[in-house]
Structure 1
Amino acid sequence: MKRRIVTLGAAFLVVVASVLVFVKPADAAVGLHVEGRDIVEANGRPFVMRGVNHPHVWFTGQTDSFADVKALGANTVRVVLGSGKRWGPSTDVANVISLCKQNRLICVLEVHDTTGYGEEGAAASLDEAVDYWISQKSALVGQEGYVVINIGNEPIGNVNAGQWTAATAAAITKMRANGFEHLLMVDAPNWGQDWQYVMRDNAQTVLDADSRHNTVLSIHMYAVFNTAKAITDYLDRFEANGWPLVIGEFGWRFNANEVDHETILAEAQARGLGYLGWSWSGNTDPILDMATDFDPARLTTWGQRIFNGANGIKATASEATIFGGGPTGTPSPIPTPTPTESPTPSPTGGGKACAAEYRVVGQWPGGFQGEVRVTAGSSAISGWTVTWTLASGQAVSQAWNATVTTGGSVVTARNVSYNGSLGAGVATTFGFLGSWSGDNAVPTLSCTAT
C-alpha cells in the first residue's frame, strides 16, 4: 500500500483538484478568502498556491521538511494530519502552524482519515473529521490569515459517490456553526478524482451551504487525468461557472497511462490556479517522492520537474504578503545559510521616503530566487522605484509584482498598478529569479518614492 495512502492504492491512481468555490466575496474577511475565482489575502492581494504535500502524520520527526520545501521555492505546504480514526491523532496542530509560519508558508491542513469513505471500511466520515477540527479549535482560531482547513482528504470513494454533496454541505455548515471563519477547502469524491462529476455538477449547492461564502473546491489529478483533453475539459467547466479552483494533489507521468503533469502545470499557470503536488517524500511506492529520504539535495526526477521545470514552483511562486510586513501581518524570519537582507532607507524629494530590503528565498547551483520588500516611510507614497547593481556573474531572468528592467549591470524595479500606493509604514514585496556564478553577493539597494 502506498504511503500516498489508500488513495492511490484503489482501482487506479486518484486525482483531487481543489476547486475554489465562489458565490461572492467572504463577508468581513478575516484572512484568506475567496473573491470571484481567486483566493485573496485579507489585504485584497491574490494568492496563488504553489507547493507540495507533506505526509506529516506518518513522519512527525521530519520537521526540517518545512524549511526544505520553502528553500526550494514553495509558498504553500499541504500537511497530512490524522483524526485518530485511522492515523494520529494529530495533537500537534499548533506546532505545525508554527513551523509553517516560521518558514513563511501558507499552511493547508487536512484530515487524511476520510480517504475513500463508503468504499474503504476504516475511513472516517466528514462529520467525524469536523469533530476533530472542533477538538483543535484553540490552535486554529486567530490563524485565518495563515491557515486553510481542508476538511477531509478524498472523503468519498467510488461507492455511492452521490452522497458527497449532502455530506460536504453538512460538514461546511457544522464548521461555520462552531465558529470557524477560515477559508475551507473541500475535496472531490471518487477518491478525489471526480470521474463521475458529482462535484463538478453540484458545486454550487456546496458553495451555497457556506454562510461565509468562503469555500474552495479541490480536485486531485492522477490517472483519470492522463490526457490534455481530460484536464482542460474539466478545468473549463469550473472556469465557465466562475468557481475558483485549486489542484490539491497531482502526480507525474512516470508511464504513458499516468497523469499529464505538463498540461496541469501549464494550465494552472495560464489560468492562475493554485497547485500542490503529491508528495515531498515517504511514499511506500517511492515513484511519487520528490525527495529521496526527505533529502532536498537528492531530488528525484519528479522533484526536479515540479520545483525547477517550466511552470514549476521556482518559476511561478510568489510568497504571501502576510509574511512581508504589509497590512495583514509582520515578517517571520526564515533561517538561511548566508546573509540575505540589505535594508536601505532612501529619502526622496518632498519629504517622502521608502526603504528596500533584499532577501534570498532559495539558492541552488547557478540559480536563486530573490525577494525585495519595499516599505513606505513616515508619509504615504503613490509609487516606488528600486535599483541595484548586479555583481559579476549575476543576472535577473524573471520577476513578478514589479516591472523589472536591466541596463548593463543596473537593475531597475518599478511598482505595478496594484502595489504602488502605500500608506505610511506599509510594505509590499516583489520577487524575481536570477542566476549567479562566483559569489551570489547581496547588493545595496536604492529606493525612491513619489
Structure 2
Amino acid sequence: MRITLPAFVSRCHWRRPVCAACLATVLYLALAGLDAGIYHGLPHAPLFSDKQRELLYSYGVFDPTTNPLYRQWLHGYVNEPNQPPRSGTADDAYRAYGIALPDPPGLTVAATDPLGWWNGRMPREADVLFIGDSFCYGAGSGSARSIPALYEKATGQPVYAACKNGYGLPQYRDILRRLTVETPPGAPGHFGGRDVFVLLYVGNDTAADLFVYRDRLAEERLGVWRHVKLRTLWRLSRFLRDADQGAGQALAAGPTPTVDTHGYFPVPLTVPTQKGLPFAFHPFYRSFADTAWFGPAEEESVAAVLADLRRLAESRHLRLRVVLLPTALQVVFPRIDFAAVDRRSEFARKSWDEVRNLNALAGLLLGMLSDAGIETLDMEPAFMNDPDAGRLYWPTDSHLTPEGNAATVAAMCAAFVPDDDR
C-alpha cells in the first residue's frame, strides 16, 4: 500500500535546506519572543518567592524597571519607603549551607525613610553622610549598633546613612552625586554637611557588585537587541545552573538550600568566637580562589569611579574619607585551627589562595585610593592586631558583630578627629 505524503512534506523532501532554514528561523523567532516574554512579563507572575524574585532580578533575568523599587539614576534598588522597623537575624552564612540555629543572633533594622533607606531623619538634617552596603546599615548588628549610629553617638554629629545590601563602588558615586548635586539645596533629600564616609568592603564592592552594575549599564544600551541575542534565556540558564550546583548568588534561592559545604563549615578557630560557634565562611569566598576576572578593565573602571568621587567631593567642598573593611576570612585566617579542618576539603586546599587574592585586591585598592588622593583608613591592621579578633565577625554570618562595628568607629575617631571648621 502506497502512502501519499502531504504536499508540504513532499516539497521539503526536495528542498530540505530551504525548509531547515525556515524551521530554524521560526524556532529562533519563537525563542526571541520567549526571551522578551520572560524579561518583561514574567516579573508580574506570582510564581516565585521573594528571594527567588530578588535573585532573578540580580541575575538580569527580569527587567529591573518592572520593580517599583528600582531607581534609574542608581542603576539599583532601594528599600520600600516609609516602612516600620523589622527584625532579622545574623546567620546568612549558616543559612547558605542549610544550617538552622535554634537561637540565631537577632537584630532590629530601623524604619525606612521616604528615600528608601534606614534613617530617622532626612539628609538635610545631617552633618555627616555615610554611604555603603550591608556593612553600613548594620546587617550583622541592627541599625542602633551600626557603624553610622555608633559614630553619631561617639561624636554627637547627626548622621544620615545611604546604605543597602548589594550596592557597590559605582553606586556610592551615584548616591553622592544624587544627594549633593542633583537634589536642590534646601530640599529634604539634599545633604548640606561636610563630612562623607564611604565604607568600602573588600569582599564584593569591587567584585560581584561591580559586575552587576556594569551589566545593567550594558543591557540598558542594548535595548531590544538583548532579545535578539537571547540574553534573558542565557541568564536564566546560568541562574538554574548555579541553583542546581549550589553556586553563586543562586545558592540561597531554593526552599531547602542544604548543599555540600566544601569544608567552609565547620571551621573552628584557636581563639574565642561569638557564642563559641565554628565559622561558616560564606560561599562567595570561593569566587576569590582565582581572580582572573579582575583585570585591566576592572582596574580602569575602579580608578574612574574613584576619580569621580574625588571630583564630586571637591566640587561641593566635602571632606571625603574611605574606610576599607576587610573580610572575615582575611582577619581570622591566622587563627584558624587547621588541625581540625578536613585536609581533603576544598577549603583546606583553596583558602590560602583566597586569602592571598583578597589581600592583593585590598592592596590594589589602597594604592588606587592613594593615587586618587582620597584619605583612607584601612581597618585590616587594627582588626588583625585585636586580641579579640575572633569576635569581630559573626561565625554564623559574613558581617561584623556590634563589637566589630565599635572597633571600626573607635579607629575612625582616632584617625579622623572631628574639628570645628564645618
TM-score past 0.5 threshold:
no
Structure whose residues are more often strand by fraction: 1
Q: TM-score range by the shorter chain?
A: under 0.3
**Normalized against structure 2, the TM-score is what?**
0.28
Structure whose residues are more often helix by fraction: 2
Which one has a bigger Cα radius of gyration? Answer: 2
**Normalized against structure 1, the TM-score is what?**
0.27
